[in-house]
Chains A and B, each alone.
Chain A
Amino acid sequence: AQSVTQLGSHVSVSEGALVLLRCNYSSSVPPYLFWYVQYPNQGLQLLLKYTSAATLVKGINDFEAEFKKSETSFHLTKPSAHMSDAAEYFCAVKQAAGNKLTFGGGTRVLVKP
């Protein structure tokens, strides 16, 4: 069974500072990987996805993530945090067969002025 671990349920960053959100997965075969963002009282919005085309994936709003097979990681970064980045972020994994997404527990980001 596959699983996703997000280290740190809460992260606090200053506006303009680097955002780093950690995600590790367990899977018997290389999976597809996703990062979603959830703003308060809203659904999930896709930030980016890894589909084996390139290990460094760029997404919306200057977010990017790097797939490292040796570390089974897919960490999300943004060079400079903005107040509007305050939200909850979810890492998810999916196998090639089927449509089931398995999510991590989420990391809530607080941006301080």
Chain B
Amino acid sequence: DAGVTQSPTHLIKTRGQHVTLRCSPISGHKSVSWYQQVLGQGPQFIFQYYEKEERGRGNFPDRFSARQFPNYSSELNVNALLLGDSALYLCASSLGLAGEIDTQYFGPGTRLTVL
């Protein structure tokens, strides 16, 4: 079975631009979460989506937004890019079952560089 896929793998943008990152979850998984991993640090939670609705949001500014589509794939959008947005953006998918331990499986990430 295919794992979590993300596109693009690398991206270079300049300050002030916007970016869209894409994620396809494991087949059968209905929940997608996004994380930002700055170089040398652990991943930080940005969003969780389940059945196209936002279920959780981390401490990130409103420049960050996301959505989930009927096929459970997801997009992360970042507007007005800052140098500090340079990071590896990780997508994780899970079953999203209520009341169950919901293990997250991660994709390879998108490396965003803001110049």
Contact B48 A44 (CB under 8 A): no
B65 within 8 A of A: no
Question: Is A46 on the interface with B (CB-CB < 8 A)?
Answer: yes
In the complex where A43-B90, A51-B101 touch, is A100 in contact with B45 (Cβ < 8 A)? yes
Do A104 and B104 have beta carbons less than 8 Å apart?
A: no
How many residues of B are in contact with the other chain, CB < 8 A? 29
Cross-chain pair count, CB within 8 angstroms: 61
Residues of A contacting B108 in the complex (Cβ-Cβ under 8 angstroms): 42-43
Choose one: B4, B48, B99, B109; the contact of A99 (CB below 8 Å). Answer: B48
The digit string for A73-113, where 1 denotes a CB below 8 A from any CB of B, is 00000000000000000101000101111111110000000
Q: Which residues of B contact A51 (CB under 8 A)?
A: 101
B109 touches A43 (CB 8 A): yes
Question: CA A41 – CA B32 in complex, angstroms?
Answer: 21
Within the complex, the shortest CB–CB distance from B4 to chain A, in Å, comes to 8
Query: Could you write out 6 A-B pairs with CB less than 8 Å apart?
Result: A46-B104, A99-B31, A99-B55, A99-B102, A99-B104, A100-B58
